[in-house]
C-alpha cells in the first residue's frame, strides 16, 4: 500500500521516522492554543482543533497522496492572526470575524489547488522569496523556543535580552540542544528524537 520496497525503506525505519516527526512537531499542540487564546479563543477548543487538524491532514497525506509528510497548523500565521489582525484592531475585529476570513481563504485555496492555477502561482513566486519565508518561519519557531526555555527574555532597551544562563531550565535546554547538534553532525538518524529523550530524562 505504501510502496515500502519501491521507496527503498523499511517498516522499522518509517516507524522511527514517524515517532521522530511526532515529537519534533507536537509542540504546536500547546503553542498554537497558547498564542490564539490571547485573542479570546478558549484554550481547550484551540487545543482540540489543533489535534484534529493535524490528524486529518497527516492521514490525508498518508492515505491519499502516499507522501510521508506530517501536516499541522503552522507557526507564523497564528501569531499574525493573534497580533496583527485581532490584537491590533483594538476590539474592532473579533476572533470570530477573523476565523471567518481564514475559513473563506481556506475554501479559496482548496479550489485553487484543484486547478492548474495553483502550479502557476507557485512557480510565479521567486525562489529567494520562498527561501526567505522558510528561513523566517524557522527563525520565528527558534525564537519562540528560546523564549520558552528562558534563554532569551524581553528587554526594554533592545526588545530582546539574554536570559539567566544559570537557571536549571536554561542549562537543561542548552545541554539538550548541544547533544542534538552533535548527533546531527555525526549523521545519526533520529538525532532530534534522541536529543529530546535525553533532555526529557
Distance CA 54, CA 130 (A): 23
Whether the predicted pLDDT of 2 surpasses 80: no
Q: Is the pTM of this model over 0.75?
A: no
Q: What is the pLDDT of residues 10-21, one digit of tens each?
A: 888 888 888 888
Long-range contacts of range 192-199, CB-CB < 8 Å, 24 or more positions apart?
Answer: 192/20, 192/23, 192/24, 193/16, 193/19, 193/20, 193/23, 193/24, 196/23, 196/24, 199/172, 199/173, 199/175
C-alpha cell at position 162: 539574554
What are the residues facing 153 on neighbouring strands? 161
Closest CA to 198 of 178, 185, 186, 187: 178
Domain limits at 18? 1-124
Q: Cell for 54?
A: 493535524
In a domain, 42, yes or no: yes
- Position 191 scores a pLDDT of 85
Structural domain contains residue 155: no
In a domain, 179, yes or no: no
Residue 192 lies inside a defined structural domain of this protein: no
Within-domain flag for 156: no
| Other beta carbons within 10 Å of 115 | 10
Q: Is residue 148 part of a domain?
A: no
CB 72 within 8 A of CB 25: yes
Closest CA to 170 of 139, 137, 199: 199
Q: Is the pLDDT of residue 83 over 70?
A: yes
Within-domain flag for 139: no
Q: Comparing 60-64, 69-73, 76-80, which segment has the lowest mean pLDDT?
A: 76-80
- 110 pLDDT band, cuts 50/70/90, is confident
Number of domains in the chain: 1
Q: What is the pLDDT of residues 39-70, one digit of tens each?
A: 889 999 999 999 999 999 999 888 888 888 88
Q: How far apart are CA 191 and CA 199, in angstroms?
A: 12
176 falls within a domain: no
Amino acid at each position: 500500500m505504501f510502496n515500502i520496497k519501491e521507496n527503498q525503506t523499511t517498516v522499522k525505519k518509517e516507524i522511527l521516522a514517524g515517532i521522530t516527526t511526532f515529537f519534533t512537531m507536537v509542540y504546536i499542540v500547546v503553542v498554537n492554543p497558547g498564542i490564539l487564546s490571547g485573542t479570546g479563543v478558549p484554550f481547550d477548543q484551540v487545543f482540540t482543533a489543533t489535534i484534529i487538524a493535524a490528524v486529518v491532514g497527516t492521514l490525508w497525506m498518508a492515505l491519499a497522496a502516499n507522501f510521508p509528510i506530517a501536516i499541522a497548523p503552522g507557526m507564523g500565521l497564528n501569531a499574525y492572526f493573534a497580533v496583527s489582525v485581532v490584537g491590533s484592531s483594538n476590539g474592532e475585529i473579533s476572533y470570530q470575524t477573523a476565523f471567518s476570513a481564514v475559513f473563506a481563504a481556506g475554501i479559496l485555496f482548496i479550489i485553487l489547488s484543484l486547478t492548474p492555477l495553483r502550479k502557476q502561482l507557485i512557480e510565479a513566486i521567486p525562489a529567494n522569496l520562498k527561501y526567505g519565508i522558510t528561513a523566517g518561519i524557522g527563525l520565528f519557531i527558534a525564537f519562540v523556543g528560546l523564549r520558552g526555555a528562558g534563554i532569551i527574555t524581553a528587554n526594554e532597551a533592545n526588545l530582546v535580552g539574554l536570559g539567566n544562563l544559570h537557571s536549571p531550565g536554561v542549562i537543561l535546554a542548552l545541554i539538550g540542544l548541544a547533544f542534538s547538534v552533535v548527533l546531527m553532525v555525526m549523521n545519526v538518524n533520529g538525532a532530534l528524537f534522541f536529543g529530546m529523550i535525553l533532555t526529557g530524562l
